[in-house]
Amino acid sequence: MGQLPFQVVVMLKKYFSTLPWFDSLVITGFRKGSLIVDYTVQVLSSFNINQLKNITDHLDSTTLIIKGLVTINITNEQPVDIGSTATVTCTTQGGLGAVTWSLTNAQNKTTVITYGTEANLSSQALIDTVTLRNISAIWKGLFTCEYTIGSIKLTASETLDIALLPDIQGSINPQFPDCTDPNQKVHVVIQCAISNNLENYNISWNSSANLHDLTQQPTEYNGDKIYHKAEATIECGYGDESLSTTCTFTNTRSQTNKSSSMTVNIPIIQKNSSFCDTQDKWPKTKGNYTAVLPCDNSAVGNRSRTCNNTMWQEEILNCVDTSLNKLYNDILKIGKGLGFIVENADSFFKRLQISTTFQSIKAFANIDATVQILDSMNSVSEVQSHQWNDTIMPDFVSAISNILNDTKYWKQTSNDNATNLSIKYLQSVENMMNNSNLSTTSYVNRSNVVLKVCNSSDCNFFNVSVKTEQNVSVVVVAFRKLATNLPQTLNNESVESEGIILSVTEVNRTDYTNLKMNFNDGQIRKPNHQMFCVYWDENQSEWSSEGCTWGGADNPTLCTCTHNSAFTIMMSKTAESLPYMDKLTYVGLGISMVSLVLCILIEIMVWDTVVKSNIANFRHIALVNISVCLLFAYCAFLASAKPEQILPNWCMILTVVKQFCFLAAFFWMLCLSFVLLHQLIFVFEKLRKRVYLALSITVGYACPLLCVAVTVIQYGNGKEGEYYSIETCWLIYQSTLKGSLFAFILPVGTVVVLNMFALFVVITKIATPVVSEAKARDEKDVAKSIIKTIVLLSPILGITWILGFFVFTLDLTQKPYAQIVNYAFTILNSLQGFFILLSNCFGEKKVREALLKRFRAKKSVNSKSEHSTKDTSLKK
């Protein structure tokens, strides 16, 4: 380039005329915008490059393009076949440095050639080579190799001609010819559509024997598509279920790969065929076949709908938005080796962000295409050793957030699951992060995805916080709405998660670090449900908890992991259970029921002998009522052992019976403890029998009845799901102090606490005897009396039920304490009836003596009877 006026041209000639064999300097054109011209220097023989470099050093803003010093050669005979291999070489005279390869296509667009799936660059001695494998149509054009030395460019160009073959799309109209009338003839039009690539093909048609009068129709052009059609006749009388036609496109310029074919099948609806009738735009379709329609709004792909015998199935949309399809194809070109991802990254992600903002993203095919685009871009980036930086992150995060707006579109049909697509999405994002070089201040916040670089301080994402140790920086990507589409199993156990997924990648480190993550979803954990801190294991394609620890019931939101991946917290769908717990319960209740029946019978047998005073009367009345109430409660409990086999009405009745009988037993225990306290505190004031009986009946039965009635009325008049659970036939726990269960827990808790106070008073009385007794009793006797009192009174006062409050407060995930308490509670309380028999029947001296006396008297009577019988026999 040079400036006018004339003296500048004179100056150029002055410098270039120093070259050997200089011939001329000619002005070739003017540029707009200033006094700038192009010029050409012609030299008649070879010269030294360094001589040119010395000249250009004296000329500012001068670029010399030299042709003839570099030789380019395409080693293959042209045109080359599509799908074959070709080699383009450039030979130099040495000392020209690195080469730049480019391709200029028919639209005069020039693109740099690099490494890819179809291109490979190599250099050896004075020869630089581009090797093309499995050639596609994108390589048809002008190849140029260029060497640059300062402002000097040495180039050579050669055109590669490729004999193209078309991608064929076949269709038929009508899609399913109707031959339900065997006497009729049906005319069909077969269509083979190809892209307009300017090749001149020979087209031939081949058809089944019973497809008659096959006639080629005029070719139609629509945009960049060419439609080749043929018309034929089907004679229904032959009864064919299916016929076919093949269109073949032959390129005579090809050497070996000369033709491409498409066979169009023609399913025929016969008289006995099942079919789906016309519906909206869908044609009458033969049973167990799929009807296909083109996409609306110029989208790429098709719509399909299967006819299952005579029932239409859901429509499947394989329609990809045009902008997404074009973006995908542009990325594929770079992947094949035509262009650099670094030069296109910003525009690609901007286009992706815009495409995912449109309403069209509400389709499975578009979401799937978006994930494929992400995967392809990252693959190309890795091949070209390019790392993503901060500039593309806003558009990238916007795009991956947009497609999470409504995850119901991640399912292609209602019968499909979105698991595979979600896994591919998550892995694509993780691969992007592993191939990124972000600054420590990177932060992008979108509605469904947040990206942030975190260090040792807490980072908050939605309802999750992350903290690293050792001052390690990590890139964290948090996802909403993704968890529901990922697998809901862990080690073949069903789990559930609707929370946040975290993808964690270390910055500039390769070793592991400890991560502490707080998932607030852990706060909604159901009682006794195990939580799992898990990561996505790409090798096994499943969730794994290896290397991750849950904070436990005391800290249910905490997850600590020793490695990086995609993390979340999950909850088991089934509550923790203890082995043999049901068997222990049923065996214990069986023993207790037998024991209570024996206890009641014994009371009947020894009543007249043992009950001699008001105090004894009070105690034994309470004992009998406690035994009867517990016996009925146990019967109702066993009757509801399998709720799934019980009618809902009976489930409600059994719940009422259990609540009333257990409460009645505890209120009678309260009456018994009241008698003990009165006897100890008011020694000289006797309790009247009539007063005690009235008070005991009121407290023992009226109070439980009132509690049950209020509970039933309060909770929907005994409504299932409010008052009782159909799954357990028992009261419902919702949360702290919420739920019908507390109408049982609070009265029982109050009674147990009062009974423990009564027991404490009794023990205190034993431990501090009056002066007259103190000398006669030593410490061992006192200790024995205390132990005996605890053993005798604990079962009848329900003291062992205090363990129930620990069972209620302890979570079964708190091992081993919860297991120990649960087993102790189950064993002690299922055997309560047995302990009552031992302590209050066999353990009471008067009862034992009365039983022995009764049995001895019976034995004596039997003995006298036998004597009398023998004497009578002897007399006879």
Q: What is the pLDDT of residues 523-579, one digit of tens each?
A: 667 777 778 888 888 777 788 888 888 888 778 888 888 877 666 666 555 566 678
331-369 burial by CB neighbour count: b if 16+ within 10 A, else e?
A: bbbbbbbbbebeebbeebbbbbbebbeeebbebbbbbbb
Determine which of 31-40, 61-70, 456-465 has the lowest per-residue pLDDT on average. 31-40
Q: Are 454 and 474 in contact (CB under 8 A)?
A: yes
User: What is the pLDDT confidence band of residue 788, given thresholds at 50, 70 and 90?
Assistant: low
Q: What is the pLDDT of residues 280-295, one digit of tens each?
A: 899 999 999 999 998 8
Q: Are 467 and 459 in contact (CB under 8 A)?
A: yes
Kind and range of the H or E element at 503? Answer: strand 501-506
| Distance between CA atoms of residues 222 and 242, nearest Å | 30
Q: Is the dihedral of CA 669, 670, 671, 675 positive or negative?
A: positive
- Looking at residue 874, its pLDDT comes to 40
- 269 three-class SS: strand
Any idea which residue has 């003017």 for tokens?
Answer: 30
| Distance between CA atoms of residues 621 and 603, nearest Å | 9
| Distance between CA atoms of residues 349 and 357, nearest Å | 12
Kind and range of the H or E element at 543? Answer: strand 542-544
- Looking at residue 231, its pLDDT comes to 94
Q: Are 636 and 722 in contact (CB under 8 A)?
A: no
Residue 474: exposed, middle, or buried by beta-carbon count in 10 A (0-12, 13-18, 19+)? buried
Residues 6 or more apart in contact with residue 450 via CB below 8 angstroms: 397, 444, 461, 462, 476, 477, 478
- Looking at residue 108, its pLDDT comes to 92
Q: At what angle do helices 393-402 and 364-383 cross, to 10 degrees?
A: 150
Proportion of the chain above pLDDT 70, given as a percent: 86
**Residue-level length of the chain:** 876
Residues 6 or more apart in contact with residue 108 via CB below 8 angstroms: none
Per DSSP, what are the bridge partners of residue 80?
162
Residue 706: exposed, middle, or buried by beta-carbon count in 10 A (0-12, 13-18, 19+)? exposed
Residues 6 or more apart in contact with residue 385 via CB below 8 angstroms: none
User: What is the pLDDT confidence band of residue 88, given thresholds at 50, 70 and 90?
Assistant: very high
Proportion of the chain above pLDDT 90, given as a percent: 35
Question: If you average pLDDT over each of 626-630, 801-805, 827-831, 837-841, which comes out highest?
Answer: 626-630
Q: What is the pLDDT of residues 425-466, one digit of tens each?
A: 988 998 898 888 888 888 899 999 999 988 767 688 887 888
Q: How many helices (H) and strands (E) does the chain have?
A: 19, 44
Can you tell me the mean pLDDT for 675-697?
73
Residue 139 has pLDDT above 90, yes or no: yes
Any idea which residue has 């296109």 for tokens?
Answer: 344
Residue 84: exposed, middle, or buried by beta-carbon count in 10 A (0-12, 13-18, 19+)? middle
Q: Are 478 and 518 in contact (CB under 8 A)?
A: no
Determine how many CB atoms are found less than 10 A away from the CB of residue 202: 11
Any idea which residue has 């044609």 for tokens?
Answer: 283
Q: Are 129 and 121 in contact (CB under 8 A)?
A: yes
Which of the two residues, 844 and 684, has the higher pLDDT score? 844
Determine which of 97-106, 616-625, 723-732 has the lowest per-residue pLDDT on average. 616-625
Q: Please, what is the Cα angle at 226 between 224 and 227, to 5 degrees?
A: 140
| Distance between CA atoms of residues 402 and 411, nearest Å | 16
Residue 168 DSSP class? -
Q: Report which of 834, 804, 825, 826 is spatially closest to residue 581, judged by C-alpha positions.
A: 826
Q: Are 321 and 343 in contact (CB under 8 A)?
A: no
769-789 burial by CB neighbour count: b if 16+ within 10 A, else e?
A: eeeeeeeeeeeeebeebeeee
Q: Please, what is the Cα angle at 583 between 577 and 587, to 5 degrees?
A: 145
Q: Are 42 and 13 in contact (CB under 8 A)?
A: no
Can you tell me the mean pLDDT for 858-862?
56
Q: Are 140 and 125 in contact (CB under 8 A)?
A: no
> How would you list the strands of the sheet with 259-267, edge to edge?
202-207, 242-250, 259-267
Q: Report which of 542, 562, 563, 561 is spatially closest to residue 551, judged by C-alpha positions.
A: 561
Mean pLDDT of the chain: 83
Q: Are 667 and 625 in contact (CB under 8 A)?
A: no
CB-side neighbour CA atoms (13 Å) of 662: 26
- Looking at residue 772, its pLDDT comes to 47
- Looking at residue 872, its pLDDT comes to 45
Residue 3 has pLDDT above 60, yes or no: no
